[in-house]
């Protein structure tokens, strides 16, 4: 049974959506680490904090750390701040840290798909504070799915996230929720990823593309017959 048949109220006049992971798929690098280095350069964090981030991230990828603990650590510098407080920092972050790392082919592909009328949806395990800026300001995405950061009644950020994180299987769950809410059919949809963490998202799509895969994902992509793409960035 096709996934979209699970959904009532599907708008069949909508072109099938195109889903893109962010880190490693649209940009070369990790958006959170880049952001923390931006904060360091702005005097908000320091080298020791960034080194701690890299150590925790390595532990996570080795399966030795709960991702919730990583989220809470990476959000510490933002606690108590509003999104308005961070406006200047985000402008610098996008211009100097993210834009040079965007894959040229990613921009071209998204621009072509938008011209053809397809909905562009960025799906990332990264927090929505970061993904919102990249998805809307650089890629002009129609929607984004990201891990939601908590805030207080005055809009000040809290160093914690809601449990419906968009990581691994959570990506597929959140995509299904969006499809229901927007009336999207997943038949003939396309998905672009780069790592094993994107498998659940890729499996929902009718056709899968894997950008610059390495190690386990390279073998998995070849075994499953996913289309492998080699994309390039200035950095």
pLDDT digits (tens, 9 = 90+) for 135-177: 999 999 999 999 999 999 999 999 999 999 999 999 999 999 9
Question: Cβ(166)–Cβ(147) under 8 Å?
Answer: yes
pLDDT digits (tens, 9 = 90+) for 183-202: 998 988 999 999 999 999 99
Q: What is the mean pLDDT of the chain?
A: 91
Quote the CATH superfamily of domain 3-229.
Answer: HAD superfamily/HAD-like (3.40.50.1000)
Stated pTM of the model: 0.92
The number of residues in the chain equals 235
According to DSSP, residue 100 is labeled G
Longest dimension (CA), the chain: 53
Q: pLDDT tier at 4 (50, 70, 90 boundaries)?
A: very low
The per-residue pLDDT for 34 is: 95
Question: Cβ(20)–Cβ(118) under 8 Å?
Answer: no
Question: What is the DSSP pairing of strand 207-211 with strand 190-193?
Answer: parallel
Picking from 117, 118, 174, 168, the residue whose alpha carbon sits closest to that of residue 144 is 174
Q: Domain extents for the chain?
A: 3-229
Q: Which residues have a Cβ under 8 Å from the Cβ of 23 and sit 6 or more positions away?
A: 29, 30, 31, 32, 124, 126, 194
Question: Dihedrals φ, ψ of 85, to 5°?
Answer: -60, -30
According to DSSP, residue 198 is labeled G
């Amino acid at each position: 049974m096709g996934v979209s048949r699970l959904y009532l109220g599907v708008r069949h006049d909508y072109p099938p959506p195109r889903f893109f992971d962010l880190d490693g798929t649209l940009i070369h690098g990790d958006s959170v680490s880049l952001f923390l280095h931006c904060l360091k350069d702005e005097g908000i964090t320091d080298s020791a904090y960034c080194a701690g981030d890299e150590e925790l991230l390595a532990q996570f990828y080795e399966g030795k750390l709960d991702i919730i603990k990583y989220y809470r650590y990476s959000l510490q510098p933002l606690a108590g701040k509003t999104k308005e407080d961070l406006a200047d920092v985000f402008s610098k972050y996008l211009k100097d840290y993210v834009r040079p790392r965007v894959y040229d082919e990613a921009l071209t592909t998204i621009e072509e798909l938008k011209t053809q009328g397809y909905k562009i949806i960025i799906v990332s395990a990264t927090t929505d504070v970061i993904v919102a800026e990249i998805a809307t300001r650089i890629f002009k995405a129609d929607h984004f799915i990201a891990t939601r950061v908590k805030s207080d009644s005055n809009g000040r950020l809290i160093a914690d996230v809601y449990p419906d994180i968009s990581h691994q299987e959570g990506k597929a769950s959140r995509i299904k929720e969006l499809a229901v809410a927007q009336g999207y059919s997943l038949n003939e949809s396309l998905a672009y990823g780069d790592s094993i963490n994107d498998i659940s998202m890729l499996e929902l799509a009718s056709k899968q593309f894997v950008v610059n895969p390495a190690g386990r994902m390279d073998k998995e992509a070849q075994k499953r017959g996913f289309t492998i793409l080699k994309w390039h960035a200035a950095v």
